[in-house]
Amino acid sequence: MARKPKRPPRSPAIRARRPIARRSRSTPPTPGLDLHRCEQFLIHEARLLDEGKFDDWLALFTPDAWYWVPSEPDQPDPHQTVSLIYDDRRLLETRVRRLASPRMYSQEPRSRTSRIVGNVTIETNDRNACTVRSKFMMIEYRREQQRIFGGTALHRLVQSHGRVMIAWKRVDLVNCDAPLDGITIPF
Amino acid sequence: MTSTDDTFRSLVQPSRVHRWLYTDPAIFEAEMERIFGSAWIYVGHESQVRKPGDYVRTFIGRKPVVLVRDTEGEVRVIHNQCAHRGSLVVANDKGNTDEFQCCYHGWTYHLDGRLKAVPLQHGYASDFDPNNPKTAMVSAARVKSYRGFVFASEAADGPSLEEFLGYMTTSLDDMIDRAPDGEIEVAGGTFKHAYEANWKLYLENLCDAAHPLFTHRSSIDAAQQQSDAVYSDGSGEIAIRQMRQNGAPYNFWESQVGIWTYPNGHSYLGDYHDDAKLVAALKDPVFRDYIAAMEKKRGKAETRRVLEVRRWNSNIYPNLSFMSGFQQLRVVHPIAVDRTVVQTYNFRLKGAPERMFRNTISFANTVNGTGSLVLTDDLEIYNRIGMGLSSEGAEWIEIGRGLKSDAPDAHGGRRGKNSTSEVYIRNMFDAWLHYMADGCAAMRAAS
């Protein structure tokens, strides 16, 4: 069961990394992806989600990104086992577009969420791409009921032209295999 | 309210039922006893307990049971309760074991539920007999498989499983016949999705062809507006096709899709996909490989016969729904009158190309997933019905759509004029009355 997750090919953003020598002398070099920048990025992402700016959130993802919330602890693969959410880029766009629909009845009334991101560590790091591990807690309030979600997030962050983007994101909920009421707001 | 047979009869009318059937705790208790305590209840699939000692934990109604394969290879369904102090014996969801042992005082049971050993046996009364069936993890009264699908009934007498299933065996056959090797296995994990309303609403929605255009409007619109030029690894593509198909106009549902119902509350909805619209498209390379595998193992004529069977959801009342085309299965677990959990499963078709199962998983995420763009709106509907029906005012709810156009079916059932008929709900309430008041009342009187 210790198979590595099958992942789509790396983002063009990584392959298109420019050699340092070709960078113009007149602009200062882009800083690498250090812990502070990663942490700031995750906080920014959480804020976009809490504020319901889902289009801006979607814009953080690379063109071939995937977003994954497994249904089992240590789930090795999104294609051989069901997932609470497994969206390739095309489905993620559809999900975000639906979130804006006035006829999304499972969001009538809308949820309000509040997230805390912490325990951020960099698991693997190249200069312009790294895998970041973090813990999160999210409170979701909707229609007189409050739910708490918590777990571990893994972000593959890539940097292209000075911009940080998400190549993939995996969210492992501590209660991923529990009976759950519907999940509509991304983690 | 008082739960008498006459009360139950008064709550079900030809085209409407009383809201209490969805909200009254006393009726719920009676349902657990009279429906879940006597009907054939789907428990699991034999592939979940392949080897002796394999077990999975599940429920008959609210009663915790263990589905287990014993040392002789027999599939058993035993009450997950220690005969001593009543503790739950098996706590893990699944596993393999030589015996079951209670963690309280060490009472130990054989895989078939018989008592094996009792510590401090000398301390019990002199007439204590470890061979008395009452000191066992008690077996369900009847356990029977239909081609690997295991059902249990808590009633010692009653119709056989084959009689109970009737023509619906053809839907179960369709699940299996689609495998080139003629065998299927549970694989790919489960969803457990929950809602705060009555268990009956779930099956009542699964053959409801009149709701997608409204309930699923947000996912239909979002999918219709989605550009296919955006990167997909295949999974999103399947999901988006399914969501678009939910947007088929009413005249499609009324002219091209049928609904069939059978005795004991069972029903199926005709498939509403044409092969060009979903992944089962002949131009799809995976599906072409699949057809080649089918033809090689089963011959061209049999392959054509199998693929011409077109069923969407098949419901076996009271707790099972499945969909043979994409190998999906859901089991309804009533928790309380206003709380239900549905556990979903997927099947792998043995002998089919590996990629077929990947499609099965993508499809499951869309139609059964807790975070699905489609299912979440169904869960919202169940919750809203739960909230709506919990107050006085309108005491009756309608189940009469298409009532006058019900017609007999060649296999002993009745069919609706088209898929938007509520005939399958009326049919479930016929079965409900049978269990709650008529047939089972006679059985109780006789016992």
Residue boundaries of the structural domains of chain A: 32-74+83-100+107-173
Low-confidence ranges of chain A (pLDDT < 70): 1-29
Q: Quote the pLDDT of residue A12.
A: 46
Q: Measuring CA to CA, which residue among A53, A3, A31, A4 is closest to residue A130?
A: A31
Note the pLDDT of residue A15.
46
State the number of CA atoms in the 13 A half-sphere of B126 facing the CB. Answer: 0
Mutate: best of B348, B355, B380, partner A, most A CBs <10 A: B380
Q: How many CA atoms lie within 13 A of A3 on its CB side?
A: 11
**Model pLDDT, residue A106:** 98
Chain A residues whose beta carbon lies within 8 Å of the beta carbon of residue B230: 63, 89-90, 93
Query: Any idea which of B155-159, B222-226, B439-443 has the lowest mean pLDDT?
Result: B439-443
- What letter would DSSP give residue B121? G
Would the CB atoms of A80 and B358 count as touching at under 8 Å? yes
Q: What percent of chain B lies above the pLDDT cut of 70?
A: 95
Nearest CB neighbour to B225, from listed A8, A97, A104: A97
Give me the mean pLDDT over the B171-193 stretch: 97
Please indicate if any CB of chain B lies within 8 Å of the CB of A145: no
Label residue B360 by pLDDT band (50, 70, 90): very high
Q: How far is A28 from chain B (nearest CA, A)?
A: 34
Band of residue B121 on the pLDDT scale cut at 50, 70, 90: confident
Nearest to A179 among B234, B341, B368 (CB): B341
- Give me the helix-helix angle, B423-436 and B439-446, nearest 10°: 10
Between chain A and chain B, the number of residue pairs with CB atoms below 8 A apart is: 150
CA–CA dist B132, B128 (Å, integer): 8
pLDDT number for residue B372: 98
Chain B nearest-CA residue for A67: B236
From the candidates A90, A103, A172, A183, which should be mutated to test the interface with B, based on the most B CB atoms within 10 A?
A: A90
Closest by CA to B312, choosing from B395, B238, B205, is B205
Closest in B189, B226, B232 to A71, CB measured? B189
Q: Is the Cβ–Cβ distance between A138 and A187 less than 8 Å?
A: yes
The domains found in chain B, sorted by start residue, are 41-153 (2.102.10.10), 168-436 (3.90.380.10)
Identity at B186, one-letter amino acid code: V
* CA dihedral of B406, B322, B51, B190, whole degrees rounded to 10: -150
Q: Which residue in A69, A71, A49 sits closest to A58, CA to CA?
A: A49
Inform me whether the pLDDT recorded for B54 exceeds 70: yes
Inspect the interface and report whether the beta carbons of A98 and B232 lie closer than 8 Å.
no
pTM of this prediction? 0.92
B221, B237, B240 ranked by CB distance to A101: nearest: B221
- Residue from the list A93, A105, A177 with its beta carbon closest to the beta carbon of B230: A93
Beta bridge partner(s), residue A113:
A140
pLDDT for residue B339 is more than 60: yes
The answer, yes or no, to whether residue B8 has pLDDT greater than 60, is yes
- Those of residues 45-64 in A touching chain B at CB distance below 8 A are 63-64
Query: What part of A 106-125 touches B (C-beta under 8 Å)?
Result: 106, 108
| Core vs surface per residue A35-47: b (16+ CB within 10 A) or e | eebbbebbbebbe
| Residue A11 contacts B, CB cutoff 8 Å | no
Which residues from A are below 8 Å from B237, CB to CB?
90
Cβ of A98 and B235 within 8 Å?
no
3-state secondary structure of B71: coil
The radius of gyration of chain A's CA atoms, rounded to the nearest angstrom, is 17
Whether residue B125 has pLDDT greater than 90? no
Please indicate whether, in this complex, the C-beta atoms of B222 and A97 are within 8 angstroms of each other. Answer: yes
Matching residue, tokens 């009383």: B18
B280 — pLDDT class (breaks 50, 70, 90): low
Q: Which two tokens stand for residue B117?
A: 């050993």
Give the minimum alpha-carbon distance from B94 to chain A in angstroms, rounded to a whole number: 13
Point out the residue among A84, A95, A105 whose CB comes nearest to the CB of B215. Answer: A105
Can you tell me the distance from the alpha carbon of B192 to that of B47, in angstroms, rounded to the nearest whole number? 20
Give every strand in the sheet of A83-88, ordered side by side: A83-88, A61-70, A163-173, A145-160, A129-142, A112-125
- What confidence tier does B439 reach under pLDDT thresholds 50, 70, 90? low
Interface contact flag, B240 A106, Cβ < 8 Å: no
Q: Do B230 and A90 touch (CB under 8 A)?
A: yes
Rg (CA), chain B: 23
d(CA B76, CA B269): 32
Average pLDDT over residues B31-58: 98
**pLDDT of amino acid B128:** 87
Min distance A136 CA to chain B CA atoms (Å)? 18
Complex ipTM: 0.94
Does the beta-carbon distance from B188 to A88 stay under 8 Å? no
* Contact (Cβ atoms closer than 8 angstroms) between residue B406 and residue B423: yes
B339, B377, B378, B390: best to mutate for the A interface, most A CBs within 10 A: B377
* Averaged pLDDT of chain B: 93
Residue B328, pLDDT above cutoff 50: yes
Q: Which of A73-82, A87-96, B393-402, B437-446 has the lowest mean pLDDT?
A: B437-446
b/e B404-413 (16+ beta carbons within 10 angstroms → b) = eebeeeeeeb
Architecture of domain A32-74+83-100+107-173: Roll (3.10)
| Residue pair B218/A98 in contact by the 8 Å Cβ criterion | yes
Kindly state whether A75 is in contact with chain B, defined as any CB-CB distance less than 8 angstroms: yes
> Cα torsion for B206, B329, B373, B378, to the nearest 10°?
30
A92 contacts on B by Cβ (under 8 Å): 236
Find the DSSP H helices in B399-438.
Answer: 423-436
pLDDT on residue B189: 98
